Every structure is written in C-alpha cells, then in structure tokens.
Copies of this chain bind each other. A is one copy, B any other.
Amino acid sequence: MKSSHKPLIINGKQIASEILEELKHEISDLRAKKVTPGLAVVLVGDNPASEVYVRNKRKTCEELGIDSFAYDLPDTCSEKKLLKLIDKLNADPKIHGILVQLPLPRHINEKRILEAILPEKDVDGFHPVNVGRLLNGEDCFVSCTPAGCHALLLRSGIKPAGKHVVIVGRSNIVGKPLAALLMQKAANANATVTICHSNTRNMSKYTQEADILVAAMGVPEFIKPRMVREGAVVIDVGVNRISDPTRKSGNRLVGDVAFSGVSKKAKAITPVPGGVGPMTIAMLMKNTVKAVHMTLAKR
C-alpha cells in the first residue's frame, strides 16, 4: 500500500502577488527619483478575450504605479497606421515598454509589427533579437509565460540544474523559449532539456523520465497519471475551457494535465487556474521595470 501523498500545490497566485509587491517597492523608489515606468498597451479590434487581458494588464499597472498608456484601435486600423503608432511609441521617452496584444486582425502582418518594436522596449520578449539573445544566453527580455514558469520553480525551491526537464509543446511563446531558458549554462538553469511535440513517437517514454515535466501543448488533460514519474514536478501551462454540465456556466477551465490523478504522483504541481496564469502579468510588469533600469543604465 502506498503511503498517503500530499504534493506541494504551487500557488501561482500567491507567488505572483509576492513579485508584484516587490515591484511596487522598486517602482516607488524609481518614482521618488522622478522616474515613472511607462507601459503602452495597444489593442486592435474587439476580441473579447483580448479585452479582458488588456484590462487586467492596465489595472495591474495602475496598482503598481506604472503609467499605462492605452491605445485602442478599431478592427479596421491599417498595418501602416499601426506601424506609425509603434514608431511614435519607440521614440517616446515616457514609454519604457510596448505591448501589442495578440492576435491582430488578419489583414495585419503580426511578424512585421512585432519586429517594428524596439528590442529595448519589447517587454513581451517576442522580437527575434530578444529570442536570439535568449538562445545565446545573453541578457534580454524573456517572454512572460516561460519567465513565469521559471520563477514559479525557483520561488518554490525547485532548482532546474542537473534535472531532466521535459517540455511537451513547441510553441514560440512557451515551449521553445522555455527550453532555451533552461538549457543555458547559468546557475538558475543548467537543466538537461528534452522538447516533445505532435511528432514525438511514444510520448510517454519521454514524459515518464522527466524530473520536471512542463505541459504546454494546449490539449485538455493530455498528461495522464501513467505518463508521469512518481515524485516529478509538474508545471501545467495549459488553459482550456471544456464543457461541464454540472457547472452553472456550463463549462470549466482545465490545464493540459489531468490534475486529480497526476497530483497523486507528483512531488509538486501547478493548478489550473491559479498556477502559471497569474505569473504572466507579474513577469510583464517585471520586464517593464527592467526596461526602465536599462534606460537608466544608458544615460
């Protein structure tokens, strides 16, 4: 008979609020020196999910003392006009970070827009210069979700060095940059990293070997208990809405991990919601403050 097992439930909400609290002090010090961090948040169109994200980002700015500059453009805004706005924001010394909420309307080339943002204001870490510096192990803006996963691990006392990290999913916003981050020769990284995806044969073979398993493929409850090693750390990046007739709303949020079963084997696990999710905004705020420090260092 197995001994009763209680995994550490990694509380992303609490860790995020600790980070925000630290940032609040840092920002208050900056403001005392007459430097107010400024973040431009650009929203094009009226995607309801994007509107929620943008509202949360702006609200968090306000709570921390970051000046939030709102640019809400109609769905019909041309690429040229958006590029012109970005040029203006690039040149504005009051604005330290620029965030363009994705997805953009179809008639706008996302890649062209993201590459137009100055790398030193690219607090989302999506500009290829930042992605390249990340892979090269240089100082850069790390995109917010992978940075959030990393911070969750470190602040839970889980050191990736020497561990086998298996990442399932190779998106540009999670899987690939997280792999790049954790494989570096650096005290807080130094993991042996495997990246799996839709073309991986015999997926369980890899996931079962993970000391730290990161699920980021966007398939509801894909990671089953039999796929996880006893004592593994499990980070669930998935956010999937599935139907649930027992709920009043008719649906509920689940991650990419079958939580109830996997949590019985894991040493530590992030819940959904309340795990990786809250970290993303916290890391965006952290990147904005980093952008301020970069500006000050250049003076």
Looking at chain A's contact residues, the main secondary structure is mixed
Q: Is A133 positioned at the interface, with any CB of B under 8 Å from its CB?
A: yes
Question: Is the pair B201, A197 in contact by a Cβ cutoff of 8 Å?
Answer: no
In chain B, what residue has the closest Cβ to A198? B185
**Can you offer 23 A-B residue contacts whose CB atoms are under 8 A?**
A127-B132, A128-B133, A128-B136, A128-B138, A129-B129, A131-B135, A131-B136, A132-B135, A134-B135, A135-B172, A135-B180, A161-B199, A162-B199, A170-B184, A170-B185, A176-B183, A179-B179, A179-B183, A179-B195, A192-B194, A192-B200, A192-B206, A194-B195
Question: Is the pair A176, B136 in contact by a Cβ cutoff of 8 Å?
Answer: yes
Q: Which of B131, B183, B194 contacts A131 (CB 8 A)?
A: B131
Q: How far in angstroms is the closest Cβ of chain B from A181?
A: 11
Q: How far is the CA of A177 from the CA of B199 in the complex (A)?
A: 20
Q: How far is the CA of A172 from the CA of B194 in the complex (A)?
A: 18
Interface 0/1 of A121-132, CB less than 8 Å to B: 000000111111
Q: How far in angstroms is the closest Cβ of chain B from A141?
A: 12
Chain A residues numbered 198-233 whose CB sits less than 8 Å from any CB in chain B? 198-201, 206
Interface 0/1 of A254-270, CB less than 8 Å to B: 00000000000000000
Q: How far in angstroms is the closest Cβ of chain B from A129?
A: 5
Q: Is A50 positioned at the interface, with any CB of B under 8 Å from its CB?
A: no
Q: How far is the CA of A196 from the CA of B191 in the complex (A)?
A: 8
Question: Is the pair A162, B193 in contact by a Cβ cutoff of 8 Å?
Answer: no
Residues of B within 8 A of A206 (CB): 192
Interface 0/1 of A89-123, CB less than 8 Å to B: 00000000000000000000001000000000000
Q: Contacts A128-B138, A135-B131, A138-B111: A194 and B194 contacting too (C-beta < 8 A)?
A: yes
Question: Is the pair B131, A162 in contact by a Cβ cutoff of 8 Å?
Answer: no
Residues of B within 8 A of A138 (CB): 111, 128
Q: Is A190 positioned at the interface, with any CB of B under 8 Å from its CB?
A: yes
Question: Is the pair A162, B132 in contact by a Cβ cutoff of 8 Å?
Answer: no
Question: Is the pair B185, A197 in contact by a Cβ cutoff of 8 Å?
Answer: yes
Question: Is the pair B180, A197 in contact by a Cβ cutoff of 8 Å?
Answer: no
Q: Contacts A129-B129, A135-B131, A177-B135: A195 and B170 contacting too (C-beta < 8 A)?
A: no
Q: How far is the CA of A138 from the CA of B176 in the complex (A)?
A: 13
